[in-house]
Amino acid sequence: MAVDDVAGRDLPWTDPSCPVARALDVIGDRWSLLIVRDAMDGARSFTDFQQRTGIARNILADRLRKLTAQRLIAQVEAPSGKRRVYALTETGKDLFPVIVTLRQWGERHAFEQGETHSVLVDDQGAVVPPIVPAAADGRPLTSDTTSVRRLV
């Protein structure tokens, strides 16, 4: 998510001193997040991603290239050894709490009451509980109980 300046350098769209803005420069478009989501759910091949998302092939190729350049995914040898597939890197896997939080927000606010949707479960089959940021002493944190300290 960058724009080229006259010298051909990538310039971020957003505030370079803000971690949220920097993260959005890397992963802030719909397709990138859906590709990461699907990789977390087992998608590995170009075809897997294309079929799961319905994304146009040229856009998918572009996003996979960008996610690879940002080291969120990597191309690895397929178990069959016949081709290369995509796998999340540790950096990509670090987005798991972000994806879960977006999912949980969507469950609460993007569906009508009683409307069916998929559910995230753990390896025992239990629904994943809500993610809530917590203070060092365990208190739940909200936007009302936190603030950003800008460093100079």
Q: Is residue 104 part of a domain?
A: no
Instruction: Determine, yes or no, domain membership for 60.
Output: yes
User: In 3D, which of 17, 30, 19, 85 has the Cα closest to residue 59?
Assistant: 30
Query: Using one digit for the tens of pLDDT, what is the confidence trace for 25-71?
Result: 899 899 999 999 999 999 999 999 999 999 999 999 999 999 999 99
What's 18's domain CATH number? 1.10.10.10
Domain count, the chain: 1
In this structure, are residues 102 and 33 in contact, taking their beta carbons and an 8 Å threshold? yes
**Res. 8: pLDDT tops 50:** no
17 found inside a domain: yes
Instruction: Please write the tens of the pLDDT for every residue from 73-114.
Output: 999 999 888 899 999 999 999 999 999 999 999 999 999 999
Residue 5 has pLDDT above 60, yes or no: no
Q: In angstroms, rounded to a whole number, what is the distance separating the alpha carbons of residues 133 and 54?
A: 33
Report if residue 43 sits inside a domain: yes
pTM: 0.84
CA 52 – CA 33 distance, rounded (Å) = 13
56 in any annotated domain: yes
Residue 12 counted as domain residue: yes
Of 40, 42, 35, 77, residue with least CA distance to 60: 35
